[in-house]
Structure 1
Amino acid sequence: MTVSAPHPSPLVSLRDVRFAYGEREVLRGIDLSVHRGQVVAIMGGSGCGKTTLLRLIGGQLRATGGTVEVEGRDVARLSGSELYALRRRMGMLFQFGALFTDMSVFDNVAFPLREHTDLPAGMVRDLVLMKLQAVGLRGAAKLHPNELSGGMARRVALARAVALDPMLILYDEPFAGLDPISLGIIGQLIRKLNDALGASSVMVTHDVHESLAIVDYIYFVSDGRIVAQGTPDEIRASRDPFVHQFVHAEADGPVPFHYPAEPIERLLGGEGA
């Protein structure tokens, strides 16, 4: 695995970031950084705010407190045109791919090139074929999403996400629903494409073991806060109870198995809940 040397200033920086949906507080003072060339994973239980972090970085949401900076610019302070210009330098792999079902594989990958550039058709064709070649699916260019396996669809979505050679790639559960072979392929492609493009990647995922094999740094989120962080080696060696429970998929621990309730002994033989 090739790891690029970190740039002195992070490409993505979140400082004391807070966010709430109405009265429900989701993020409670998040601090994290992503340096150039890094693949960074954000892990945690369902509903802990991982995908919200991606939306804050991409500017779909605005923090209720703190700052979100990309390339040194406060995303919340960008004008509409500035935000769209920034997003053109980002790639996004949505959960389950989110391919356009009425378009061919070729047209799915060509879509961002046609939308955001004035490149001639011949150059678009060559770029699309190169991206599909990179994910091993040049021969599937004429197929439609309903003709693809889950793993193939995810690879097409990955080719689309890097079509514009982004500086930053965001991944929302890239391994969800994949068989072990497809999961391994996607993991290696994420690492290889990040390194080949000289990009940075932020990956929201539940898949601990595949992530530990490809990422440079990991943040664990629980109850809206960063509760642990470190390199893969540091995470493997961690004695932190939350990290240990998450990495080893233990049913009980800091994240309890039982939802809070009064002792069952008080209810048995009584009138019920």
Structure 2
Amino acid sequence: MTSPPDNLVELRDVRFGYGARPVLNELTLAVPRGKVTALMGASGGGKTTVLRLIGGQVRAQAGEVLFEGRNVGTMSAARLYAARRRMGMLFQFGALFTDLSVFENVAFPLREHTRLSDALIRDIVLMKLDAVGLRGARNLMPSEISGGMSRRVALARAIALDPELVMYDEPFAGLDPISLDTAARLIRRLNDALGITSLVVSHDLVETFRIADHVVILADGKVAVQGTPEQVRACQDPLVRQFVHAEDSDEEGPVRFHYPGPTVAEDFGVKVVR
């Protein structure tokens, strides 16, 4: 019997862009099985695009996106649908269905993807809500719970089908320090307790480095550095140091502030004095 690959997800020489704007340029990275991998980098660097490629929402324009050794980009609709059942996704700000209760939000993927009885769905939903500390909030509507609670409900929904891979798109954005700490500990605890693989896209360095086993920083459509949090902190690459240590100077560093475009003189017809 062939053993599963050590890496649950791999991207090999992936190219992707939106229209004429390139985003990923021969990107190669791996997501180790059973670990918490953090995917970081400046805004607009392609992190969420990587999640969309893994989930098959978009297809790589070149290269391969592999999930358990199978190319997502060449899967039929039926195979892709089956692969997605083994993935969980926590969207930015939760993305709960506003007209469904907390219970029904978590039950949704079970009703969509399985033929389980209502009694069994009830038990599974309550177990998942209990795992995130919200079993008592089952009958509340999304408008009746806080932002931090919404994120936890969304996490319960993401793990409803016992996925092998859970992807988190900015799970800490907009949370107060207490909710942020709770969310970070939940990601780490659920990863270890359920034996899953987690891929976390985040800009929060402190919390993300605290829970991650493996960190990948993207820049210019490629991997700038990857390794343990300690290895990434010790990296001397100017771009990585600017991002990780928030180093500043009078001039722009490698991580650019301005999006590429016409010069000020070209746009306003004025002479710029430096």
TM-score calculated relative to the size of structure 2 = 0.91
Matched residue of 1:13: which SS?
A: strand
Equivalent position to 1:10, from 7, 11, 20: 7
Structure 1's 258 and 105: CA in aligned 2 closer, same or farther, altered over 3 A?
closer
CA contact (8 A) 2:11 2:27 kept: yes
Count of equivalent residues: 263
Matched, 1:254 2:238: no
Q: After superposition, give the CA deviation of every residue in 1:35-84 in whole Å (9 maximum; x if it has no partner).
A: 21011111111111110000000111100111000011010111000000
Q: Name the CA distance, whole Å, in 1 between partners of 2:147 and 2:159.
A: 19
Matched with 2:165 is: 168
**Superposed displacement of residue 117, structure 1:** 0.8
Matched, 1:72 2:76: no
What is the RMSD computed on CA atoms of the aligned residues?
2.1
Matched with 2:101 is: 104
Q: Give the partner amino acid of 2:192.
A: D
Q: Which runs of 4+ in 1 moved over 4 A?
A: 256-261, 270-273
**Superposed displacement of residue 244, structure 1:** 1.6
**Superposed displacement of residue 20, structure 1:** 1.5
Matched with 2:86 is: 89
- Report matched runs for 1:12-161 at 5 Å: 12-161=9-158
Q: Give the partner amino acid of 2:169.
A: D
Q: Give the partner amino acid of 2:255.
A: V
Matched residue of 1:229: which SS?
A: strand
**Superposed displacement of residue 248, structure 1:** 2.0
Matched with 2:226 is: 229
Q: Give the partner amino acid of 1:75.
A: V
**Superposed displacement of residue 260, structure 1:** 8.1
- Report matched runs for 1:183-202 at 5 Å: 183-202=180-199
Q: Name the CA distance, whole Å, in 1 between partners of 2:243 and 2:198.
A: 22
CA contact (8 A) 2:5 2:69 kept: no
Matched residue of 2:7: which SS?
A: coil
**Superposed displacement of residue 152, structure 1:** 0.4
Matched residue of 2:167: which SS?
A: strand
**Superposed displacement of residue 272, structure 1:** 4.2
Q: Give the partner amino acid of 1:250.
A: E
CA contact (8 A) 1:109 1:159 kept: yes
My pick for the range that moved more, 62-71 or 220-229, is: 220-229
CA contact (8 A) 1:94 1:172 kept: yes
**Superposed displacement of residue 127, structure 1:** 0.7
Q: Name the CA distance, whole Å, in 2 between partners of 1:164 and 1:38.
A: 19
**Superposed displacement of residue 23, structure 1:** 1.5
Q: After superposition, give the CA deviation of every residue in 1:84-115 in whole Å (9 maximum; x if it has no partner).
A: 00001100000000000001000000111111
Q: After superposition, give the CA deviation of every residue in 1:161-182 in whole Å (9 maximum; x if it has no partner).
A: 0000000011111111001111
Q: Name the CA distance, whole Å, in 2 between partners of 1:231 and 1:100.
A: 36
**Superposed displacement of residue 24, structure 1:** 1.3
Matched residue of 2:198: which SS?
A: strand
Matched with 1:218 is: 215
CA contact (8 A) 1:251 1:257 kept: no
**Superposed displacement of residue 153, structure 1:** 0.4
Matched with 1:245 is: 242
My pick for the range that moved more, 233-242 or 248-257, is: 248-257
Matched residue of 1:254: which SS?
A: coil
Q: Name the CA distance, whole Å, in 2 between partners of 1:11 and 1:248.
A: 30
Structure 1's 243 and 147: CA in aligned 2 closer, same or farther, altered over 3 A?
same
Q: Which runs of 5+ in 1 are unaligned?
A: 1-6
TM-score calculated relative to the size of structure 1 = 0.91
Q: Name the CA distance, whole Å, in 2 between partners of 1:39 and 1:170.
A: 10
**Superposed displacement of residue 257, structure 1:** 4.9
Q: Give the partner amino acid of 2:116.
A: L
